Amino acid sequence: MIMMFGIIQCPYCSNLQGFLAGSRTTACTACGRRIDTLKAQVAGPFNDQEEMRKKLWNLKSEKMTEPESNLKEQMILESAKTARNGVLNLSLISEMVLETIREDAKTGEMIFRELEDRGLLMKDVEEALSRLQYSGSIYSPSPGTYKAV
């Protein structure tokens, strides 16, 4: 059985740490609170622990020098580029879609164009839109237009 690893950011204290991908929850090493791995910021998956450790070290080093929003964006894009079909990625891609349409309604074409410029595939964005609409996070005020709830 192949073990996969990821990097997660605690939503409570913003600590970055490694975790075993496929785990539903993990405990934050800094604050001790339980983190839902499907809802938190995740980068990965990584095939081996050493690869994950190197990326974690780089992210922590960058966190010291960059604003938090840039780190979050970098984690999302890195994760989306490394494994487009993983469960970890769909939640991150969905978050990028939500951020894109959070302020005002946008057509599917506008969303695809904006996220394609940021390195995402159209099929991934379509799946994220579909799941967000099914979950009730977004709705379609008119055909082909999306708006966050």
Taking the complete model, does pTM exceed 0.75, yes or no?
A: no
Q: Is 79 helix (H, G, I), strand (E, B) or coil?
A: helix
Assigned fold of 84-149: Arc Repressor Mutant, subunit A (1.10.10)
pLDDT in tens, 63-82: 655 555 555 556 655 655 55
Q: What is the DSSP letter of 104?
A: S
Q: What is the dihedral of CA 124, 107, 73, 11, to 10 degrees?
A: -90
Smallest Cα–Cα separation from 78: which of 16, 145, 143, 137? 16
Which amino acid is it at 3? M
Domain boundaries, the chain: 1-81, 84-149
Which burial class, exposed, middle or buried, applies to 125 when counting CB atoms under 10 A from its CB (0-12, 13-18, 19+)?
Answer: buried
pLDDT tens for the 149 residues of the chain, in order: 567 788 888 888 888 888 887 788 889 888 888 988 877 777 777 888 888 888 888 877 776 555 555 555 566 556 555 544 444 467 777 878 888 888 788 888 888 888 877 777 788 888 888 888 888 888 888 888 888 88
